Structure formats: C-alpha cells, structure tokens
Amino acid sequence: MIIKNNFKALNYAKKPNLDYSINEFLSLDMFNPIIKKNYFNKYDLSIFKKKKFRTHVFGMGGSSLSTKLLSQFLNPYNLGKKLFIYENPSPVVIRNALSDLNINKNDKFIFISKSGNTIEIKYFLDLVIKILKQKKISKFVKDFIFISENKNNYLRKFAKKNSILCFDHDPNIGGRFSIFSITSLIPLISIGYSLPKILKSFLKAKKLFEKSHTKIMKNISKIISYEKNFNLNILVGLTYHDKMSSINEWYRQIFAESLGKNKNAINYISSYGSIDQHSQFQLYIDGPHDKHFIFFKIENSNKSIDTKYSLIKGYNLMSTLEEGAIKTLKQKKFLVTQILIKDDFDSYCYLIFYLIFDIYLRAKFNKINFLDQPAVEILKKNTRI
C-alpha cells in the first residue's frame, strides 16, 4: 500500500506524534477472530462443506456492509448473482429481487442483527416469509440462518420455535467492526469461499501492519494536525473503481459512528468519483475550503493512453477521470491523500487495518470512546416496537 499526501506543495512540515499503544490496539475484541487460535472451532460449519448456496443477506449497517465490502473486492460479479445483500428495508427492492428468482433448495436466507430485536430485522423476516408464501414455497424456514447474540431476543425465540440454524454474534464485537468475525464471513462461506484462505489474508495483513504501524501513525498524525490547524471539518472519500466503493461506504460508517461524539466532529462524505465529478465537484472545488479529500485507488496496469481506443481498456477511463480530479484539487491547494493498493485481497485487508487504525488514532486525539454509539442506541429505542 502506498500513501501519498501533498503536504510539501502546501508548505506544511509539522511532524506531530500521537501517543498510542500498538498492543492496546491489537488487543481490541474485534481482532479476536484472527488472533485467538481456534476461535472459529466453536461454530459448526458442516452445512457448507460440500455445497455452495445462492445467498440472501438481510441486515443493516455493519451487519451487511462488512460482507459487502469483502465480497465486492473478492469478486464484484457475485453481487446480484450468487450473493444478494438487502441493506435497506425497501419492499420494492426486496420484492423485485425475490419475485424474479426461481427460489429453490440452493438458496439460503441469512438474517443478521446483533441484538436480534431491531425493527428492521423483524420487518425483513416478516416480508421475506410473506413473499416466499406467495411463491408457494413450503418448508422455507429450513433455508433460514440467523446470526445474533445468544440471548432471549426476537430472532432467537423465532428460531427456537421453528428449528432455525443460529450462529452466535460475538457480544464483544460491535456490528461495524465485525469485519473479521463470523458475522461477515458466514455469507462468504455460504457461496463457496474458503474460511482458512480468508483468515490467511487477514493474518498477512496484520503482520504487515505490525511492521509499518509507526510510519502509518506519523502520516495519520500529520493529517489530523493539518485538519485541526486549518479548521477542515469535512472529509470526502472518493472511489472510481467498482471494487472500492463499498470500503468507502464502510469507512463512512465507522468514521461517523465512532467519532461523531461531540460538536467538533468532522463530517464524512462518501463520493463516487465518476458520478460526482459531474455533480458535486463544482461545490468541492469553488465552495468552502474546509475539506480534505481521500482517494481510494487500485493500481491500473493499463498505463498507455495515447488514443481514444485505449480508454476502453480496463479502468483507463476511470483512471483518467481520477487523475484529473486529483490534479485540479491540488491546484486549488486542498489537502489530498491518495491510498493506492494492488489488485489483490491481501493488500485490501491491509487497507482495512489501516482504516481501523486511523479511527483508533483519531479517537485518541479527540479523547473519545470510539467503540460505543450512544446516539444510535437512543435512535433504536425510539424506533422499537
């Protein structure tokens, strides 16, 4: 992974260091699945050993987004074919998707909610059951899988009554940080991905991160210092590559829920470059100078763009648009960070570590607990039935 900043062009040379403990960071519960030996042995995954399923995932926020960001990078063509992710309780979207499919014994329906009590998961479950009944599919509950805490909640009660397979959501890992846990991995295993191979990539990324965390800390510290000194209150994440859009969405979630704890919090905007370049960039460029721009990039092997025909090779056009945006923002003296990774899953996992570490350091700087979400809990109570 390569990280580029335009500090030199901005004549900014401060090199502050944040006080942190790498041991404290890696001892966070979210890393238990890859640090603790035999962590996954408690889960009976035999149902997936000899069969691949077409899988439908129902969940809000981290309950579905963690799976989406891994799957999208591993193979974006799986989404909407082998793996369907329903992250918005829209009856139109869900009905359109399920009504057009020939649902059979090769389909699995995975409902994810840490608490098992949210109004959204109840809605997902009731609507799916109604649609399957309308399609005259019998004994469909045998194709259901629930992931929630092992408590006396709505999902567990329903599962007990209907003999539905349940997996325990680790009570010590919040939904948005469930990226390494069974919560995000069960849907991938269900469509045929190897758990050992995924864990191997996680471990490779962790080892590489451990070797480079000091260098990463210095860069992040400088970014935080610049944002503070120049009163930048908006962070804009930009992606031009299909395989990177979900990690931008996920970073937005962990940024907002982890750091949005006071009136000084920075706002995060996730932009899809090729679309927003024709809609938002006028405001970005000539609007208030209160933004830091982060580009999530994948190396483009097609470098020669000498004719209009070469633009249609791979991501050449996207790369051309991206480089034009970066050049323009630099000319306008904005802070621009480029995070460039290779097009392989190990590099992608390393980026995940980097982004979590970024949140951890920002929380240290602002002296806040980045693991709780008090406002979200109030919101859930006010929407509970």
Q: What is the pLDDT of residue 306?
A: 58
The residue from 155, 171, 191 where one domain ends is: 191
Q: Is residue 287 part of a domain?
A: yes
The residue from 164, 191, 218 where one domain ends is: 191
Q: Is residue 348 part of a domain?
A: yes
Q: Is residue 47 part of a domain?
A: no
35-53 pLDDT, tens digit each: 999 999 999 999 999 899 9
Same domain, 146 and 108: yes
Q: How many structural domains compose the chain?
A: 2
Same domain, 274 and 134: no
The residue from 191, 220, 239 where one domain ends is: 191
Same domain, 146 and 19: no
Q: What is the pLDDT of residue 274?
A: 83
Mean per-residue pLDDT, 122-127 = 96
| Domain containing residue 244: CATH number | 3.40.50.10490
Same domain, 230 and 367: yes
Same domain, 250 and 157: no
Percent of the chain exceeding pLDDT 90 equals: 84
176-227 pLDDT, tens digit each: 999 999 999 999 999 999 999 999 999 999 999 999 999 999 999 999 999 9
Q: Is residue 128 part of a domain?
A: yes
Number of other CB atoms surrounding residue 196 within 10 Å? 7
Same domain, 125 and 244: no
70-107 pLDDT, tens digit each: 999 999 999 999 999 999 999 999 999 998 899 999 99
Q: What is the pLDDT of residue 314?
A: 57
Q: What is the pLDDT of residue 134?
A: 93
Q: Residue 373 sits in which domain range? A: 2-24+203-380
Question: Per-residue pLDDT for 368 more than 90?
Answer: yes
Q: Kindly report the average pLDDT of the chain as a whole number.
A: 93
- The model's pTM: 0.94
